[in-house]
Amino acid sequence: MRNLFVRECGNYKTTYKNDMKLFGTTGDKVKWLILLLLLFTVPFYVSNYWVGLLTLCAISAIGAIGLNILTGFTGQISIGVGAFLGVGGYTTAILTTTYGLSFWISLPLAGIVTALVGGLFGIPSLRLKGLYLAIATLAAQVIITFVISRWDSVTGGTAGMVLSRPSLGNYSFVSNTSYYYLTLIILLLTVLYATNLLRTRVGRAFLAVRDRDIAAQIMGINLFYYKVLAFIISSFFVGIAGALLAHYTMIVSPELYNIHVSIQYLAMILIGGLGSIFGSILGAAFITLLPVGLNSIVDFLTVYMPDFYQLFSAFKEFVFGLAIILFLIFEPGGLAHIWQNIKNYFKLWPFSY
């Protein structure tokens, strides 16, 4: 076996098949194996609180990958993710509590229902682009949350609904650790699907639509089909994330799915890196853990400024906005790009030129 730390120093691929391989080198395989091992053993050496946080990160990452398929790969801006999360969450809530279906059936159904709703609101995307589409999805956000909060007989109105954790046979996913494994497996499947999607005709069509949709149409890509398809695939994952989140927090209510959630998800893919799957995960972790980090800063500051704690929510909002703006100005490529830079630096180290 070759030295793992010596990376390939050129492109030796001679066939297309070789070039498209997911795991090109032994180094790649070992790297992924170590990462998987690390992810699966995390609950053994961190506290229960952190396992819970990691679960939230994983759920957000699924949603962020979904949104990235739409916004990062296909270039269709959506400010309606929050509502689509809500559709997923409410679908599973209604199916499991009102109709008594099992979680394992309601989870994919939540994805499918959200995909249908997303596809419906994606129809205007044929005629609209950029700003106008953003407004149309914003309209979707407002209308969906309105319907959820007013359709009392089905959704329980503003009071929301209470869910339970899923179970398999006699085993119930009540503990944080078990739910962590569940979301981790779904996240890995999502990553695998999204990575493979990019290597297919559909994925390349998405990229073509993003770069210049009229040019793509001239090249024979059916714009309507691919734009709506992007909305459908993206909403499917967002719906799955919504369902997982609903079963994790065990409650759904209209306020949990407002416009700020949509903005948070957009911030995730933007800070992580548009059009990067790895970036979506990094961004989801960043945005999910940001309040936790700020909390400890505020705890530290209250020693000196006792009044500061009351300002915490405002301070959180302030820093959130600041983070978005700083990333946009100084690192538009996001965390994924920073990671790439670090890797390149060490690849050439110590001769960086």
Q: Which residues bind another protein (CB under 8 A)?
A: 71, 75, 77, 123-124, 127-128, 130-132, 134-136, 138-140, 142-143, 146, 149-150, 152, 212, 214-215, 218, 259, 263, 266-267, 270, 274, 311, 313-325, 328-329, 332
Place of tokens 């992924």: 32
CA distance 138 to 131: 10
Taking the complex as a whole, the smallest distance from the CB of residue 93 to another protein amounts, in Å, to: 21
Question: 130: burial class by Cβ within 10 Å (0-12, 13-18, 19+)?
Answer: exposed
Contact by Cβ (8 Å): 79, 134: yes
Q: Which is nearer to another protein, 109 or 338 (CB)?
A: 338
Cis previous bond, 350, omega within 30: yes
Q: Which is nearer to another protein, 121 or 179 (CB)?
A: 121
Taking the complex as a whole, the smallest distance from the CB of residue 109 to another protein amounts, in Å, to: 26
Q: Helix (H, G, I), strand (E, B), or coil: what is residue 252? A: strand
Q: Which is nearer to another protein, 116 or 324 (CB)?
A: 324
Taking the complex as a whole, the smallest distance from the CB of residue 338 to another protein amounts, in Å, to: 17
Taking the complex as a whole, the smallest distance from the CB of residue 234 to another protein amounts, in Å, to: 15
Which residue, 24, 21, 30, is CA-closest to 1?
A: 30
Q: Which is nearer to another protein, 90 or 181 (CB)?
A: 90
Taking the complex as a whole, the smallest distance from the CB of residue 214 to another protein amounts, in Å, to: 5
Tokens of 152: 């009392």
Q: Which is nearer to another protein, 212 or 343 (CB)?
A: 212
Tokens of 272: 């992580």
CA distance 163 to 165: 7
Taking the complex as a whole, the smallest distance from the CB of residue 218 to another protein amounts, in Å, to: 7
Give the Å distances, CA to CA, from 107 to 151, 184, 244, 346.
22, 15, 8, 42
Q: Which is nearer to another protein, 1 or 314 (CB)?
A: 314
Taking the complex as a whole, the smallest distance from the CB of residue 151 to another protein amounts, in Å, to: 10
Contact by Cβ (8 Å): 228, 57: no
Q: Which is nearer to another protein, 166 or 275 (CB)?
A: 275
CA distance 46 to 39: 11
